[in-house]
Chain A
Amino acid sequence: KQEVTQIPAALSVPEGENLVLNCSFTDSAIYNLQWFRQDPGKGLTSLLLIQSSQREQTSGRLNASLDKSSGRSTLYIAASQPGDSATYLCAVSQDTGRRALTFGSGTRLQVQP
């Protein structure tokens, strides 16, 4: 059974810092990996999708990398802003079956102005 772990569970940084969020998964037979943002009491906003054959994806100040063989992904946020404060969730879908997403428990990010 796939298990997804995110470290750290919470992170507080001053505005302007670059930061890295970590995600690891136990079963490397994944179809893709998605990073999401969730604001309190809200749904999920998809940030980046990395297919299993890809190594990284970039969108604006966000860069996500994937090392499938070692079961790791990182989300890099450059020049953090207070508006980046949210919970960041990593999720993977398996390469077989229904390809539902298995989620990590998230990293709660607070960017101090």
Chain B
Amino acid sequence: GAVVSQHPSRVICKSGTSVKIECRSLDFQATTMFWYRQFPKKSLMLMATSNEGSKATYEQGVEKDKFLINHASLTLSTLTVTSAHPEDSSFYICSARLAGANTGELFFGEGSRLTVL
């Protein structure tokens, strides 16, 4: 099956610093990737849609200057949390759709747990 890899799996940073999370599709190309955020014991909330070669589409209420998304290639999307604060601590999960596939199936990474001190 299609594999999506996220790195780092865990990161702890000081308040005010920026953190970059990578999402890679290892064995397939993905024109579209999605970034989700999950609070403890809650479901996944869509943050933004990452489109290869174009600007990301953000969901209502998500600050695009706070959460920078770059999708520079068909296998890599990055999420940068800028000037992180403790309220940004969360579990971030990316997903990718196989380019050209019509099933619409999404494959998910293992997630990245961000803790901001």
Contacts and interface: CB of A to CB of B under 8 A. Distances in A.
B108 to A, nearest CB: 4
B107 interface: yes
A44 B46 contact: no
Contacts of B103: 32, 49, 51
Given A32-B103, A51-B103, A100 B93 contact: no
Greatest chain B CB density within 10 A among A51, A91, A100, A102 is at A100
B107 A41 contact: no
Taking chain B's interface residues, is the majority helix, strand, or loop, or is none over half, making it mixed? strand
Contact of A43 (B34, B57, B104, B108): B108
A104 interface: yes
A44 B105 CA distance: 13
B115 to A, nearest CB: 12
Interface string A99-110: 111111110000
B32 interface: yes
Interface of B: 1, 6, 32, 34, 36, 42-46, 49, 57, 91, 93, 95, 97, 103-111, 113
Contact of B105 (A49, A98, A103, A106): A49
Taking chain A's interface residues, is the majority helix, strand, or loop, or is none over half, making it mixed? strand
B105 A104 contact: no
A34 B43 contact: no
A24 interface: no
Contacts of B108: 36, 43-46
Given A31-B104, A34-B106, A43 B43 contact: no
A42 interface: yes
